[in-house]
Amino acid sequence: MKKRRKRLLLFVMVCAAMVIGYSFLKTGDSETLPAKQAAGNGAVESGGEVSGNAGSEPDGDATAEGNAAIGDSDTNAGTATSPTDKPSQDAGAGEGGQTEDGMAVIAKPEEMAVLVNKQHKLPEEYNPSDLVYPDVRFIFSEKADKRKMRQEAATALEKMFGAAESDNILLAGVSAYRSHSTQKTLFDRYVKRDGLEKARTYSAFPGTSEHETGLAIDVSGSDGKCAAADCFADTKEALWLEQHAHDYGFIIRYPEGKEEITGYQYEPWHLRYVGKDLAAEIAESGETLEEYFDAVPVTK
């Protein structure tokens, strides 16, 4: 009798162990799922279909228009600067003369730490020479200029997106490089339509957009929701970037509460590559690039 009971108990225990084991396996599987999906998405990235098209901007004129209207294209309504502001004489990349409206022309635009803002303008003829297509997910699928970044920044971006993915954070590029001629065409069209003064309040003056350096990129989650929009600030992707971007050499270029200094509203999606050392220093100090170079606040 006792023996039978023991056997029964043993049988029950074995069954229980099997059930527990099975459910454990299941959990393990589902945990690995996001990674698998991520890998799938990543593969798609290089050119195929990308989910979340709803959030992506259409092409052509509308894209440019849309981009420019958002702060990100480095334009911002309400933060227009006075053209009479004096540029700083000791801003990092050095000065290469001044434009007729008082902006400083950057002497070494190819430096990774280059300061480009509403007072520091890229030289008219500058085009980055080492632009490449970073192998990361974007919210659109076409092979456009706005995927491009300079080699060093592109490599860092790939590492950062990979690290985020390991933390189950799926990032996507929204817009990176924009050529000087694209920015100029866009701006000229606005000036024609609204006049210079008004155009300057919502569109970046050619040569003053960081996107022209090939070192800046706007980033969103892979669903493209809140792409270059204020609501991005509340996403887990934004939180991850705030905590980790500097490990890969990127800074949140337009932080919250620094609008007067940078001349831009808070843009948690706009990342700027400056190199690991400087990014770490800036993340540590909480400074902006302007403060780091002791440049005069843009809207002072």
Would you name the residues annotated as active-site residues?
267
Nearest-approach distance from CB 269 to Zn ion, in angstroms: 7
Stretch binding Zn ion (CB under 5 A), from 27-35, 79-87, 186-194, 217-225: 217-225
Considering beta carbons, is residue 38 or 274 the nearer one to Zn ion? 274
Burial of residue 183, with CB atoms counted within 10 A of its CB: 0-12 exposed, 13-18 middle, 19 or more buried: buried
Nearest-approach distance from CB 126 to Zn ion, in angstroms: 18
Backbone angles phi, psi at 218, to 5 degrees: -95, 135
Does residue number 57 form part of the binding site for Zn ion (CB under 5 A)? no
Stretch binding Zn ion (CB under 5 A), from 71-79, 152-160, 165-173, 281-289: 71-79
Total chain residues near Zn ion (CB under 5 A): 3
Considering beta carbons, is residue 38 or 273 the nearer one to Zn ion? 273
Coil/strand/helix, residue 272: strand
Select from 148, 178, 270, 272 the one that contacts Zn ion (CB under 5 A): 270
Does residue number 72 form part of the binding site for Zn ion (CB under 5 A)? yes
Does residue number 237 form part of the binding site for Zn ion (CB under 5 A)? no
Tokens of 136: 């990361």
Nearest-approach distance from CB 32 to Zn ion, in angstroms: 34
Strand 216-221 with 267-273, pairing: antiparallel
E-strand stretches of the chain: 95-98, 104-106, 120-121, 131-132, 149-150, 171-175, 216-221, 250-254, 267-273
Q: Which residues bind Zn ion (CB under 5 A)?
A: 72, 218, 270
